[in-house]
């Protein structure tokens, strides 16, 4: 016995489908992706602008550092010590001017003896040697009332009024500015010494002393 064969044909109708990016309306494929990429591009642009601003600020900092380094290279460190009692040790500078009648005693209001200013000159922590007398300037701004200021003793104290001891240490003798035979006035004196090296770097320090 043969079973009847039933043939059936099932037809499937498949409508065309447009693939869209997740979250995009139908009919606008990849629109969301494009918008997302555009937004990311704008963010990158903003980051680049911020980076340019930071670079500009960094350049300003670099310029400031360069100026500080340049200023540092043009600065000398100057330290001073005043020895008003030097003539008591009978140095040649105190006996070089017979006409001015210097004596071998500490400078005081009872004489007009000279005395040395000892000066240490350094640059970035290293001593500066080989400087000449002309590279040292000295002025005495404050003196006792009615008194006479001091100045470099480059004549009355003889050729040894200026000495380079090496290692950045120098000695500069000073005396009363007026070579009139009058004595020092008792009281406090103050001025400054300025040093300039061959490269144009300079530095200064306060010079103060008291005489009785």
| DSSP code string of 30-99 | THHHHHHHHHHHHHHHHHHHHHHHHHHHHHHHHHHHHHHHHHHHTB-EEEEEE-TTGGGG--GGGSS-TT
Q: What percent of the chain has pLDDT over 90?
A: 49
pLDDT in tens, 10-36: 444 444 444 455 555 555 566 777 777
What pTM was computed for the model?
0.66
pLDDT in tens, 55-64: 777 777 777 6
pLDDT in tens, 120-147: 999 988 999 999 999 999 999 899 998 8
18-22, 146-150, 175-179, 184-188: the lowest-pLDDT one? 18-22
Distances (CA, A) of 42 to 32, 35, 52, 152: 15, 11, 15, 73
CA–CA distance, 29 with 182 (Å, rounded to integer): 108
pLDDT at 156 over 90: no
pLDDT at 188: 96
pLDDT at 88: 94
pLDDT at 67: 62
Two structure tokens written together for 46: 């903003």
């Amino acid at each position: 016995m043969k079973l009847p064969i039933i043939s059936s044909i099932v037809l499937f109708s498949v409508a065309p489908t447009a693939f869209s990016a997740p979250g995009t309306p139908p009919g606008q494929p990849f629109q969301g992706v494009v918008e997302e990429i555009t937004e990311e591009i704008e963010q990158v642009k903003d980051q680049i602008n911020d980076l340019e601003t930071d670079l500009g600020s960094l350049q300003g900092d670099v310029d400031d550092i360069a100026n500080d380094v340049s200023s540092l290279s043009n600065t000398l460190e100057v330290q001073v010590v005043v020895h008003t009692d030097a003539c008591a040790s009978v140095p040649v500078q105190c006996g070089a001017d017979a006409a001015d009648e210097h004596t071998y005693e500490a400078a005081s209001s009872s004489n007009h003896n000279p005395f040395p200013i000892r000066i240490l000159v350094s640059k970035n922590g290293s001593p500066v040697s080989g400087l000449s007398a002309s590279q040292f300037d000295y002025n005495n701004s404050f003196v006792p009332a009615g008194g006479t200021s001091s100045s470099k003793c480059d004549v009355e104290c003889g050729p040894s009024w200026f000495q380079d001891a090496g290692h950045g240490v120098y000695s500069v003798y000073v005396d009363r500015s007026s070579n009139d035979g009058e004595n020092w006035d008792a009281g406090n004196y103050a001025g400054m010494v300025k040093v300039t090296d061959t490269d144009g770097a300079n530095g200064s320090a306060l010079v103060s002393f008291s005489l009785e």
